[in-house]
Amino acid sequence: MIKESKILVEIDKSSGFCFGVVNAISQAEEELNTNGKLYCLGQIVHNSEEEQRLQALGLETITHKDLDNLKGKKVLLRAHGEPPSTYKKAIENNITLIDASCPVVLKLQAKVKQGWEEMKKVGGQVIIFGKKGHAEVIGLIGQTDGNAIVIESINELDSLNLSKPTELFAQTTKSADDYKAVAHELERRLNAKSIPFKAHNSICGQVANRKKELIEFSKNHNVILFVSGKNSSNGNMLYQVCKSINPKTYFVSAPTDLEKEWFINTKTVGICGATSTPFWMMEKVALKVKQMD
């Protein structure tokens, strides 16, 4: 007889891949099912388990340096978006691009490009609130010919030259509250000097709504398991949201990360994840919890 689990386990139905990631994986799978081989420029998603699944189907992750050696091949551009230099190099090497850039990111790239053109006319600057070195941020910097200034926290404002017109943008997966704080502080400092300033609403709506949803979800369970790849910017941000509400929140990347002592005297476990977390991985974690009970 199978022992029935005493712990109630709930998977957050709103967690999992966002539209951009779903689209990128769908296009990759379609090409792999047809030709059995496809190159992807950078990790298709910041989740090693999902990447391994796609590698087994024939997906090979490459770097920008590899593009020169792939003449005539097909290369997938993931949801994060790419700078203009990538498209130029693809043309030079006769590479066929399968462009799975997220529409939200492409729209932001166009806004950043327009903002930079406006700032050039008045000797101004473009500031991007984002993670330095992140693929999306690199793509955004490319829209400004490499001139955008990237900051990761409000503490970096003191090191900036705030004596010229400024336009502010954010990486789409940053915390909306953190971005709002940065924008308000910049506005305060620049307005005091009567210097033109404009902050753009560039946080992805799906990401922004997740915080409110996860706050409620975290309140309703004794233990929260946040499932995500360790290098997911969105994952680390949302994990902190859950942890701030429920101290018994644990970051896990796979079922093997679970510790039995987490569930002592526990009645309910909530499982949630990032926009880069596959739903099948959350289901595996849920099954492992029930087996450990």
Distance (Å, whole) CA 64 – CA 24: 18
Distance (Å, whole) CA 285 – CA 227: 8
Distance (Å, whole) CA 154 – CA 187: 12
Distance (Å, whole) CA 144 – CA 169: 12
Closest CA to 152 of 126, 136, 130: 130
Decide: residue 154, CB within 10 A, 0-12 exposed, 13-18 middle, 19+ buried. Answer: middle
Sign of CA dihedral 4, 227, 108, 158: positive
Catalytic (active site) residue 136: yes
Amino acid occupying residue 89:
K
Q: Is 127 helix (H, G, I), strand (E, B) or coil?
A: strand
Question: Out of 92, 136, 216, 261, which one is annotated catalytic?
Answer: 136
HSE of 226, CA atoms in CB hemisphere, 13 A: 28
H helix count then E strand count, the chain: 9, 12
Is 136:83 a contact under the CB 8 Å cutoff? no
Is 173:209 a contact under the CB 8 Å cutoff? no
Give the end-to-end CA distance of the chain in Å, rounded to a whole number.
15
Distance (Å, whole) CA 137 – CA 133: 7
Q: Name the residues annotated as catalytic.
A: 136
